[in-house]
Amino acid sequence: MNDTLDVVLRLVAVLVVFLVFPLLVGQTEHKVMAHMQGRLGPMYAGGFHGWAQLVADGVKFAQKEDIVPADADRRVFQLAPAVALLPYLLVLIAIPVGPDGFVGQTLDAGLIFVLAVMGVGVLGSLMAGWASANKFSLLGGLRTAAQLMAYELPMLLTAASVAMAAGTLSLPGILDGYHWWWTPWQLVGGVVFFTAGLAELQRPPFDMPVADSEIIFGAYTEYTGLRFALFLLAEYAGIVVLCALTTVLFLGGWHGPWSGSAGWVWTLVKTALLAFVVIWLRVSYPRLREDQLQKLAWTVLIPLSLAQIALTGVVKVVIS
């Protein structure tokens, strides 16, 4: 009975995080962009500091008509938002928040599980682009596929470097083996991993699959109402997952002063700071062209990730 209750409580906690944290990131993005770019709109809804902007957005999406194009593949079109969103819920189950089993579920191959499931989320965009019966949506889907193939490789290679350093594929095991000097040792890998993750999430400046000035809104052009809102929620959930995973792999996760009692606080603080960086990048850099995006992956990120793996191997041999 106690084991069943423990599992239920862990799942409820993961579900609450999944439902609340992406919305907090969305609200923070409104406010940060409003301050950085002098936007007045997001600062008015509800009065003080525009506190009701997120509520207003939710009401707006709920009131919009749900339209499915006549020539669309109806079932695939309707299923795509769920395929884009739900993988991030599964990923959160395996990410450790604090020491002493503070994780939804400990998996021996947690790193492989997390990266594999994150890759599935991108399929939602591919399904949306293919099923919409719209040439702009199809172009957005094709760009998504090309981006996935280019940026999945450096992401996997840099994650493998951390697994080599720790000698385990378990995320709690990686944190158990963490030392402070791992952060400078794996710094290049961390930057590559974070950059590749942003590209997979199609966040600016890597948002060519949804380039509004070229292909309207890419794979999501035909979506309205709550289905479109689910795609936005999937983007914010992806930000939470990417930042939490970067924190665990490269920034020591719950390690910090008083980590025994406040380890979960360190995880949340590091994740929040990385989420702020994601928003900061959106307002600071223009969108890359498709050729620039591919060139960055194949000529910069992949060589750097291979160099990081080589460095990790050399250091491991020297240490042993």
Biggest CA pair distance of the chain: 64
Task: Kindly report the pTM of this predicted structure.
Answer: 0.90
Which residue range forms the structural domain that includes residue 95? 67-319
- Whether residue 196 lies inside any domain: the answer is yes
- Whether residue 61 lies inside any domain: the answer is no
pLDDT band at 178 (very low <50, low <70, confident <90, very high): confident
Q: Note the pLDDT tens digit of each residue in 4-56.
A: 787 788 788 888 888 888 888 888 888 888 888 777 777 777 777 777 778 88
Q: Note the pLDDT tens digit of each residue in 100-153.
A: 777 777 888 889 999 999 888 788 888 888 888 888 888 888 888 888 888 989
List all residues 6 or more positions away from 315 whose beta carbon is below 8 Å from its beta carbon.
Answer: 165, 185
The predicted model gives 144-172 an average pLDDT of 89
Residue 98 CA to residue 91 CA, distance in Å, equals 16
Burial class (CB in 10 A: 0-12, 13-18, 19+), 5: exposed
CA distances from 267 to 19, 100, 227 (A): 18, 14, 31
- Whether residue 304 lies inside any domain: the answer is yes
- Whether residue 48 lies inside any domain: the answer is no
Helix axes 135-166, 187-200, angle to 10 degrees: 160
The count of structural domains within the chain is 1
- Whether residue 237 lies inside any domain: the answer is yes
Q: What's residue 1's pLDDT?
A: 59
Residue 102 CA to residue 10 CA, distance in Å, equals 9
Helix axes 187-200, 302-319, angle to 10 degrees: 140
- Whether residue 302 lies inside any domain: the answer is yes
- Whether residue 25 lies inside any domain: the answer is no
- Whether residue 301 lies inside any domain: the answer is yes
